[in-house]
Amino acid sequence: MVEGWKIYQLNKGIETIIDYRGKTPKKSSEGIPLISAANIKNGKLNFTKASYISKKDYAKWTIRGFTKPNDILITTEAPVGEVALYPNDGKTYQISRRVIALRADEKNIHSKFLLYILQHRPTIEALLANNRGSTVPRVLKTDITELELKLPTLPEQKAIASILSALDDKIELNLQMNKTLEDMAMALYRHWFVDFGPFQDGAFVDSELGRIPEGWEVKGILDIADLLSGGTPKTKIKEYWNGDINWVSAKDIGNGVIYINDTEKKITEKGVNNSSTKILPEDTVILVARGSVGKYGMIAKPMAMNQSCYGLFTKGDFSQGLVFLTFSMLITQFQRMSYGSVFDTITTSTFKATKVIYPPKKVIGELKEIIDPIFLQLKQNTLENQTLTQLRDTLLPNLISGKVRLKDIAHILAQTP
């Protein structure tokens, strides 16, 4: 036991527990947003798939108690042990029956510290040891509240939580900044290449894509960029896998950010040399061609990819930022043109048949000067987040367990971007 730390049973440090047992009210198209187990992942809430219950059902159900900002939400089933804070955004939410809300007694346990200790792998493993489901892991409220936690003094809890929160806040700030930059880049592209805002005083001519400024052309997308393909090293040969070369698949693309800076699987140089995959240049635009058609992004560093994806890399005039934005305008068309008996598929024929507007080189150069710095900042923020995430994931288990003390990490934090 670390000096000064004590063992607490979680229920002794909890002021309120809200557990809505029974069947969740019928979902509606509007009303009170529902927080289900599917909305909680990696310490955050994600409402990409939003569900609602009626205000009438909400009024009936909340007789059992109201959740408050900074309550800790923890999933009890499908999956077990995902945690996040209840939003502090002024809105009202309802938690589903597979989510429990814990309100820390701040006299013994700091709520943010409790959030992090519940993310600690040994805590999750202790929960899973109480699995009460035959096929789907499931735990009860008592399994959670009877957890034994090793806790430092309250001031040290707050200091540890402050450090980890600062890293999380910086990561979130970068994500928000990137969303703003992405919207800005798309708005500029639309203004120049779709609405032709800067060129309205000039002459326009008819084209197969509609009216365009005089001097502009219609070309194939493959006149702008080369089409790159990928492959998969043989999975049975161990020497081809778990190397240091990122290998992009559909799982790595389209997760709410433009740039892909890490991948689920990695391959070795032998894997590259003995398969049809190849190392793609930094900033290559990658899109999913089979199954999850419509997912696309850019790689933040050289990577390989599998055969279910295509890459686009400029022939010279367009920068990669402009290639990305051009393709962004085409994605709905590509999804409509995809086909397949089991999975929708994009083929090389899809690219060959796709036409785009091609401005004069002077116009391309002027827009590149505005767009390229935006994409550079997007990439830098993405890479910085990778560094911050790695630092946070290293510090969290060591600080929570007491293996690393606060006095020992000052020099590490001093080097944090």
pLDDT digits (tens, 9 = 90+) for 264-284: 999 999 999 999 999 999 999
* Separation between Cα atoms, residue 360 and residue 364, nearest integer Å: 6
pLDDT digits (tens, 9 = 90+) for 105-157: 998 899 999 999 998 888 888 888 887 876 778 888 889 989 999 999 999 99
Q: Locate tokens 């309100």: which residue?
A: 103
Least confident of 286-290, 298-302, 304-308: 286-290
CATH number attached to the domain at 217-358: 3.90.220.20
Check residue 402 and give its pLDDT.
Answer: 86
Mean pLDDT for 42-62 is 84
The three-point CA angle 115-119-121 to 5° equals: 150
pLDDT bucket at 410, cuts 50 / 70 / 90: low
Does the pLDDT of residue 373 top 80, yes or no?
A: yes
The pTM (predicted TM-score) of the whole model is: 0.85
Does the pLDDT of residue 342 top 70, yes or no?
A: no
Does the pLDDT of residue 296 top 70, yes or no?
A: yes
pLDDT digits (tens, 9 = 90+) for 60-88: 877 767 888 989 999 998 789 999 999 99
pLDDT bucket at 344, cuts 50 / 70 / 90: low
Does the pLDDT of residue 341 top 50, yes or no?
A: no
- For the chain, what percentages of helix, strand and coil (3-state, to nearest 5) are there? 40, 25, 35
Query: Do β-strands 80-85 and 72-76 pair in parallel, antiparallel, or remain unpaired?
Result: antiparallel
With H, G, I as helix, E, B as strand and everything else as coil, classify residue 206: coil
Burial class (CB in 10 A: 0-12, 13-18, 19+), 128: middle
CATH superfamily, domain 6-151, is DNA methylase specificity domains (3.90.220.20)
Mean pLDDT for 183-203 is 96
Least confident of 135-144, 258-267, 293-302: 135-144
* Separation between Cα atoms, residue 122 and residue 125, nearest integer Å: 5
Check residue 413 and give its pLDDT.
Answer: 62
Check residue 13 and give its pLDDT.
Answer: 86
CATH 3.90.220.20 maps onto the chain at: 6-151, 217-358
Check residue 173 and give its pLDDT.
Answer: 96
pLDDT bucket at 176, cuts 50 / 70 / 90: very high
Q: Which residues contact 133 (CB under 8 A, 6 or more apart)?
A: 77
With H, G, I as helix, E, B as strand and everything else as coil, classify residue 56: helix
pLDDT bucket at 379, cuts 50 / 70 / 90: very high
Mean pLDDT for 4-26 is 85
Query: 278, 230 in Cβ contact below 8 A?
Result: yes
pLDDT digits (tens, 9 = 90+) for 199-227: 999 999 999 999 999 999 999 999 999 99
Burial class (CB in 10 A: 0-12, 13-18, 19+), 203: exposed
Q: What's the token pair of residue 207?
A: 């084209």
pLDDT bucket at 340, cuts 50 / 70 / 90: low
Q: Locate tokens 């229920």: which residue?
A: 11
Does the pLDDT of residue 42 top 60, yes or no?
A: yes
pLDDT bucket at 25, cuts 50 / 70 / 90: confident
